[in-house]
Structure 1
Amino acid sequence: MKFKLILAPVKPHKTDPIVDAAKAAGATGATIIHGRGTGIREALTFFGLALEDQTDIVMFLLEEHLVDPVLSAIHEAGEFLKPGTGIALVLPVEKAIGLESQIDKFKEEIRDKYL
């Protein structure tokens, strides 16, 4: 099986809708890392310094065939067409371990899809 990783740095209020939409599109789960970020539309403090925004990095490890529907779902749920809401990118995964508990679900999805 081939896997890909979707990384989506988003505003914290968008995290739950994005995870819910991704699960509805076939993702089995997500990992969320809290962080800070800056962008083209930085807020300035009264000293003229840039204020770093809170950001959640939502990670989805997906079987390759699920990437497009999940990416589409998080694009809509995250309202990525609005400026400053977030982005998403897809990276190839060379190897992955620890997925044995989900292998039966993957096999079932493939059986349902192709048989």
Structure 2
Amino acid sequence: MRFDLIVGFVNPSITEKVIKTAKKSGATGDVIIQGKGSGMEPSNFLGLSIQDKTDIILFVVEEHHTSKIIKSVSKECHIEDPGNGILIALNIDKVAGLSNQIEKIRENLKTEQL
């Protein structure tokens, strides 16, 4: 099996919806990291830069689920709307610690049309 890392930088108001949508599409787990960031047009107040809160969501997924997860989350969570966030996918060369999830991933692959 080959795996990808999907990274979402999302508005905290849609974090739970992103996770639920990704899990419906094949993700088996997630990690959420709270952060701060600024978009193309940073906010200023009295000359000070204001950084918006953002959630960084990480999903390690079997590569056959990557496109489906990104498409589903993008559509259901309106990722393309300004301020909602972005999603990226990175290939993983090596992975350890997924033995408990491998069985569920195999079951998902058997029942899904890819």
TM-score using structure 2 length = 0.91
User: Are positions 1:36 and 2:40 aligned together?
Assistant: no
* Structure 2 unmatched runs, 5+: none
Q: Root-mean-square deviation (CA), in Å?
A: 1.4
Partner of 1:25: 25
Moved over 6 A (4+): none
Match of 1:97 in 2: 96
Q: Specify the alignment match of 1:82 in structure 2.
A: 81
| Residue identity matched to 1:100 | S
* Counterpart Cα distance in 1 of 2:25 and 2:112: 14
7-16 or 76-85, which deviates more: 76-85
Query: C-alpha separation between the residues in 2 aligned to 1:110 and 1:23?
Result: 14
The size of the alignment, in residue pairs, is: 113
Unaligned runs of 5+ in 1: none
Which structure has greater strand proportion? 2
Give the corresponding residue for 1:11: 11
Which amino acid in the other structure matches residue 7 of structure 1? V
Give 1:110 deviation, angstroms.
Answer: 3.2
Residue 5 of structure 2: SS of its match in structure 1? strand
Structure 1 counterpart SS, 2:86: coil
